[in-house]
Every structure is written in C-alpha cells, then in structure tokens.
C-alpha cells in the first residue's frame, strides 16, 4: 500500500531542490500534488515529468492572493487538500549582518515566514471542516544552531521553527498536525549563497567537517522526512523540529 494513497498535497517551491524531491516522492506514494513555484517554467517541467496526478501553479508565496488562488485551484482540480508543505524560501548571501539591507530583510521574512501566515489562513478553515490535516514547514538547523554570516536568514528559520510548535499546540485539538523539517545545509541551488564562498570541494569540506555523518543533506533526505511526517505512520507526531542534519545540532 502506498503511504499517501488518496491524499492531496500542496508543495511550495516545487520547481527545484527540496520541494521537487518532496513532490516526486509524494506522487510515487500515491498523492495528487499541486506544484507551486514562482518559477512557472521549472514547475511546469516537473509537472510534465510526473504526469496527470499533478497541477503546476505559478505562486508567489509572499502574495496573499496567489496563496488563496493556489488553494482554490487545488480544490477545483482535486476536490480537497490534506497536506501542505511550506517549503518555498530564500536566503541572503553569507555576509556580515550589517551588510544586509532592509529590502532584503523584508523580502526574506515575507517569503520564509509570512507565507506560512497566508497558507494557515487559507487552509485551516478547510482542515477544521474536514476534521484534520497536515502542515509541514521546512525550517532549518539554522534556527537551532546558527552559523555566522546568516543572521537574518537564521532568524527567519527560527521563527518558522517556533511558530510550528505554537501552531501544533493550538491546532492539535482540531486534529491538525504541524511539524517542522529542519535540514542542514544541502545540495541545492542555494548552497553557494549559504557558504558565502565559491562551491569548490575544498570549501565544501569545511562545512561538511561540522556534520558528524560527513556529508551535506540531499533533497532525497528531506523528501523521506516529509513523507514520514505526512503519512499515517506519524499520526501521533506533532510539534517537532525534525532534524535532517547528520547530527549537526548535537
């Protein structure tokens, strides 16, 4: 039996990286998936590769109307929504904290944090009406054990991690489970921004040396965690910061 048979999921930032891997695994495990991304070309390509159980949707998650339209399109196409994975995020380049300007700070919190405010407002009434649902927020080890040079990004992910726990407490009585996936630095398109130096084997080795299992996270690692936390196998797991980090935060 596939673990997400009959489920409908929305995955933001599904055009690449962690989001793409989550969407691919969800489809393989029987879910219908709305693939949301600000890059329409990339998300259309992912949808084309995954087939008819997907819907590509152009979404700026920092825009309330876009988020509400994303939910409406999901319901129109698949009848309901059972799972939302709030994965879309940005970072600022690794740099001294005073070098990050206010516009970058605002955009960072709009995409990484306020987007969850919008998705919760759009979906919690539906989840309450149907008797439950799953909210997965992609936080980060950056919000638990921060690295220097990423102060404002770290703060945004700390907010994601904490609001996840607060949502879990408040929404638990409605049978709405809320958990955070907290990856360590990963092999995605944002890696060089996180490192703040060119992505060379020598520079990677400096960061890998801080991870006990000796490698960066991969999209497949995050997807496996997202599958477990969305599945019935995790039906008593609520309010956790789920590290996918090879032991980085220990």
Going from N- to C-terminal start, the domains of the chain cover 8-189+218-243
| pLDDT of 158 | 97
Please tell me the predicted confidence (pLDDT) of residue 206: 83
Average pLDDT estimate for 142-147: 92
d(CA 209, CA 202): 11
Tokens representing residue 5 in the block: 């048979």
Whether the pLDDT of residue 35 is over 90: the answer is yes
What is the structure's pLDDT at 172? 98
Mean pLDDT of all residues belonging to the chain? 95
Query: What is the per-residue pLDDT for 190?
Result: 73
Q: What global pTM score does this model have?
A: 0.94
Q: What is the pLDDT of residue 14?
A: 98
Residues listed for the chain: 250
Catalytic residues: 153
Question: pLDDT tens-digit profile of 220-249?
Answer: 999 999 999 999 999 999 999 999 999 999
Instruction: For domain 8-189+218-243, give the CATH number.
Output: 3.40.50.720
Which of 100-114, 137-151, 201-215 shows the lowest per-residue confidence on average (mean pLDDT)? 201-215
Q: Average the pLDDT over 94-113 and give the result.
A: 96
Average pLDDT over residues 36-63: 97
pLDDT at 187: 74
Q: How far apart are CA 232 and CA 228, in angstroms?
A: 8
Q: What is the pLDDT of residues 180-197, one digit of tens each?
A: 999 998 777 777 777 777
Task: Identify any residues that bridge with 135 across adjacent strands, giving them in sequence order.
Answer: 84, 178
DSSP-based three-state secondary structure for 82: coil
pLDDT confidence of 30, banded at 50, 70, 90? very high
- Going by the DSSP 8-state scheme, the letter that residue 35 receives in this structure is E
Structure tokens at 57: 């949707």
Q: How high is the pLDDT of residue 169?
A: 98
The pLDDT value given to residue 50: 97
Residue 174 has pLDDT above 90, yes or no: yes
Check residue 26 and give its pLDDT. Answer: 98
Q: Determine the pLDDT at residue 189.
A: 72
Long-range pairs of 121-128 with CB within 8 A, sequence gap ≥ 24: 122/67, 122/68, 122/70, 122/71, 123/71, 123/81, 123/84, 124/171, 124/174, 124/176, 126/71, 126/75, 126/80, 126/81, 127/81, 127/171, 127/174, 127/176, 128/174, 128/176
């Amino acid at each position: 039996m596939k673990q997400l048979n009959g489920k409908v999921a929305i995955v933001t930032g599904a055009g690449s990286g962690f989001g793409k891997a989550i969407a691919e695994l969800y489809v393989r495990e029987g879910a219908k998936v709305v693939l949301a991304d600000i890059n329409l070309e990339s998300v259309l390509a992912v949808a084309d590769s995954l087939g008819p159980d997907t819907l590509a949707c152009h979404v700026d998650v920092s825009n309330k109307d876009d988020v509400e339209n994303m939910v409406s399109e999901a319901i129109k196409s698949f009848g309901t929504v059972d799972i939302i994975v709030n994965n879309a995020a940005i970072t600022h380049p690794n740099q001294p904290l005073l070098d990050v300007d206010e516009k970058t700070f605002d955009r960072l919190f709009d995409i990484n944090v306020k987007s969850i405010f919008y998705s919760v407002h759009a979906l919690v009434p539906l989840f309450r009406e149907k008797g439950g649902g799953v909210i997965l927020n992609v936080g980060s080890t950056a919000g638990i054990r921060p690295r220097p040079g990423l102060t404002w990004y770290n703060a945004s992910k700390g907010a994601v991690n904490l609001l996840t726990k607060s949502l879990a407490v408040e929404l638990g009585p409605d049978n709405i489970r809320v958990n955070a996936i907290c990856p360590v630095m990963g092999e995605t398109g944002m890696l060089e921004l996180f490192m703040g130096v060119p992505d060379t084997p020598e520079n990677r080795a400096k960061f890998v040396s801080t991870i006990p299992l000796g490698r960066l996270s991969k999209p497949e690692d995050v997807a496996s965690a997202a599958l477990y936390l969305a599945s019935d196998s995790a039906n008593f797991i609520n309010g956790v910061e789920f590290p996918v980090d090879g032991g980085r935060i220990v």
